[in-house]
Structure 1
Amino acid sequence: MRTRHAAPGLQTEGNHVSGITKRATKLADGRDLIYFDDADTVLPVERRIDERPLDPRPATARMRQDPLTGEWVSIAAARQNRAFLPPAEFDPLAPQSATNPSEIPDVYDVAVFENKSPSFGPDLEAEDAPPSIAALSDVGIGREYRSVGRCEVVCFSPETAGSFASISESRARTVVEAWADRTAALSAMPGIQQVFPFENRGEAIGVTLHHPHGQIYSYPYVTPRTQRLLASIERFGPDLFASVLESERASERVVLAGEHFTAFVPFAARWPLEIHMLPHRHVADFAGLTDAEKDELAHMHLRLTRGMDQLYDTPTPYIAAWHQAPVSVGRDTVRLMLQITSPRRAESKLKYLAGSESAMGAWIGDIVPEQQAAFIRGGIERA
C-alpha cells in the first residue's frame, strides 16, 4: 500500500450550513475527481493520488440528426468497452486497493468523476461543436456535429452493492449537495444546454454495476422530452407546474408530503410504478434549492426509494430521473421534478415497451393510478 499523501492540486471548500466538504482533484488521465465528505465524516483530509498508467481518453463521440423526428443521436462507440457486471472484488467504483485498480484512488463518502467512456464530451470547444439551440432545431439530411458535453458518475457510497435506498440520511444529504454543486458547475460550461442527474437501479433496467451510484448527463441540446414540456407550457400557460401540483395535492394520488415537497402518482401514469415529486415553490434546478429544501428532499427521496423496496419481497428496479430546466430557456416556467419509474407490474412480471409504446409512443397503462398510489403508500409506511 502506498503512503497516504495529499493529492496535488487538491482544492477544498465547504458548505458552512450543511457541514459538507468538497475536495477536487484529478485522475491520472486528467479527468476531474471530486470528493464530497459527509457532515459527520470520519475520513481524513488527505487522499492518495491516482497513479495508474491509463490510455489516452477516447475521442469525443459524434451526434447525428434523425430527419424524421429532428432528434439528435450520439454515436458513442467507446461505450462498448465499459465494465459489465464485474465481481465485487473488481468493482471499478470502489476505493482502489492493491488488487483492484479502480477509478477512485482512495476512501470516500461520495465521489464524482468524469466518465471514462462518455456519451458526450470530453471536448467542449471543438471546431464542429453544435451551434445555437435554434440552429439545432432545423432539420436536414446528413447533419452531424461533435457530441460535446459531459458525463459524470456519482458514487453514493464506497460499498460494492446497494442503491440510494441503502445509504444513510447523512449520506443522502451529501448526494443532494453533490447534485446541486455539479448542476451549477456543469451549467456554466461552454455548450451545455441541459443537465440531467439520474440513478438506474437493477439489472432489469440495464444496470451494469451493482455499486450504489448514479450519473449526470450534460447535453449540448435541450432533450426531446423537455422540448415537448416547453411546448405544453406554451399551450397551457406559464403556471403549468403550479396547476399540476395544486391538482395532485387535492387528489388521492399523493403518496408523501412535506413542508417543501409533495410526491404523488401522476394523473396519467404510464408505468406500472410511477412517482413524481415537485417542490412547493418554483425552483428551476438543484442549484436553486435552499439548505432546508435540500434537507427535506434527501429525507423524502430516501423514504420513496425505500418504500419501493417494500412493495415486493425483492428490490424493485427503477429509474430515478431528476428533470431540471434547461440552462438558457424555460428557467421561469420549468420546475425541478423527480420522476421515479419502474417496469415492475407484478412480483415476477415486467412491462416491456413493445409495439404501441416503442413504435408509436402511444402508451397503455396497466394499473389505475389511484390504486397504484395506495399500493405505493403501503410500501412507504412499511419502510
Structure 2
Amino acid sequence: MSFCSPVILDIAGTHLTEVDRARLAHPLTGGLILFARNWENRAQLTELCAEIKDVREDLLICVDHEGGRVQRFRSDGFTHLPPMRAFGALWMDDGRGPEGSGAMRAQDAASAAGYVLGAELRACGVDFSFTPVLDLDWLDEATGASRSSVIGDRAFHADARVVTLLAKSLAHGLLRAGLQHCGKHFPGHGYVRADSHTDIPVDRRSLRAILAADAAPYGWLSATLSAVMPAHVVYPRVDARPAGFSRRWLEDVLRTRLGFTGAVFSDDLSMAGARMLDGREVSHTEAALAALDAGCDLVLLCNQSLGQGEAVDALLDGLAEAQLKGRWQPREASEARRRALLPSAPAPEWDALMCSEVYQRALALLP
C-alpha cells in the first residue's frame, strides 16, 4: 500500500490536546493550517509549532497570511503588511521618476514584503503560507468597485501582466526567507461576485477568455509557484464541476496546457462551494475523494476541529476506508510534492532576524 498524507486539518486551541496529537499522527494527515484562534503571542506560537513537529517532523505547518485583511498574526512584533493592492498602486505611480520607475519600485517592495512575511513566520516555526492571490481585480463598470468583495484589495491589479510580475517578486522574497507559497484561486475568482465560502459562484465566460486574462499568471509563473489552490467556482462552459473538482481544469489545463508541476491544494472542503457536486450535497469524504481524483495532491478541511471534531475524524476514517476498498489510490508523486514544500533550512532566531540588515532594509521598502 503506497504511503500518502493528503489531509491538511486544523486544531481548536493554542496548544495540542491528546486528540490533536492522535489526529496529527494519523498516516493520512500531511499537515495543519493555523488560524487567529491558535495565536496568543510569538512564544506560544513557536512552542505550538515545536509541539507539532514533535508529533511528526514531516508535518507541514500552514497559514493564510497574505497581508491586509488576511493576516492571522498581527501583534507581538509581527509587521502589519499592506494589502496587495498597495503594490499595484505603487506600480502605477512613477512620481517624479522616469516612466516605468513605479513598476520597478513596486517589484522591489513586493520582494521586501515577501521576505518580511516569510522570515517572521519561519522564525516562529511556520513552514508555508497560502499566498499570493493571483486573482485579477475586475471592476464593476457601473460603480468602479471590485466585482468580488471577497477578493477586492487582496488582488494586486486588474492587469494579468502586473499581477504576474508582482506575484513573482513576492514569491522571490518568500523563497529567500525559506517559506514556500501557493498561488490562488485558479483559474480566477475575481470576476464573480458571489463568495464561495457561502455560495457557489458561477463564471459563464469561455475557456479562451479565462485563459487570456485570469489564468494567464499561472502559465507565466509555472516555473515559480510552489503550489496552486483552485477556486470553488463553477465555469460551466468548461466543466459543470467547480475547478477544484475538475480533471479538465487541473489535469488538462493547469498541468498539461500551462505546464505547472508543483503541488495542488483543494480549497477548504467545508466551504459551501465545495459541498455541492453534480447537483447534490456531499460529505467531506466524498468532496475529498472528488478533489483527489480530479488532480489535487492535498485536501484542506478547516474549522471542523471545534467542539468534538467529528468531521475531522470522519474524513480521516472515510479516506482510510476508501483506500482499503480501492476507491482511492495514493500517488507517490503527490507525497513527493507535499514533502517538497517543507523548509530545507532551520528557522531563524527572532531577535537575530530583527537586527539583520536584510530584514531592516525590507521593512524600509514596504509601502
Q: Which of 1 and 2 has higher RCO (CA within 8 Å, sep 6+)?
A: 2
- TM more than 0.5: no
Q: Greater helix percent: which structure?
A: 2
Instruction: Please report the TM-score for the alignment, with normalisation by the length of structure 1.
Output: 0.28
